[in-house]
Amino acid sequence: MSANYLYSGSNDANEVAWYWRNAGDQYLSGDWNWPAIENNHDRTQSVGSRKSNELGLYDMSGNVREWCWDWFEDTEYGSGLFRAVRGGGWMGDVVSSELTYRGKFEASGMGPDQGFRVVRNGD
């Protein structure tokens, strides 16, 4: 049963998620700033180094955002250009690690904080 957390496993992102403020040598403050993030050696972290959710799954919030099969319906650009992404990544803000967040990424794109999770439906 879900506890209705904001992030997967907690209401405190720092317990369960890696994002730009906490994914490097030190905890960063202030506004998002790529040179500061790069100098802080922010990077993907080892799976399972944060608290799991209530199902025992790790890194469902933060660390690497997951490129999804479904298309992102965009009223400005139309359909078929962007795939949906979920979960947030170490380069993103904490809001992208929220369970309800659904972002978009180029269908042919790739990035250092992007991955995918292999799933199988129950049929």
Q: pLDDT by residue (tens digit) across 11-54?
A: 999 999 999 999 999 999 999 999 999 999 999 999 999 999 99
To which residue do tokens 């997967």 refer?
Answer: 8
H-helix segments, 1-123: 13-16, 34-39
Q: What is the pLDDT of residues 69-91, one digit of tens each?
A: 888 887 776 667 888 899 999 99
> Which of 21, 25, 10 has the alpha carbon at shortest distance from 61?
10
Cβ atoms of 111 and 91 within 8 Å: the answer is yes
- Rounded Cα distance, 76 and 52, in Å: 37
Is pTM beyond 0.95? Reply is no
β-bridge pairing 114-115 and 65-71: parallel
Going from N- to C-terminal start, the domains of the chain cover: 1-111
Tell me phi and psi for residue 38, to 5 degrees.
-65, -45
Output helix, strand, coil percentages for the chain, rounded to the nearest 5: 10, 15, 70
Mention the CATH class of domain 1-111.
alpha beta
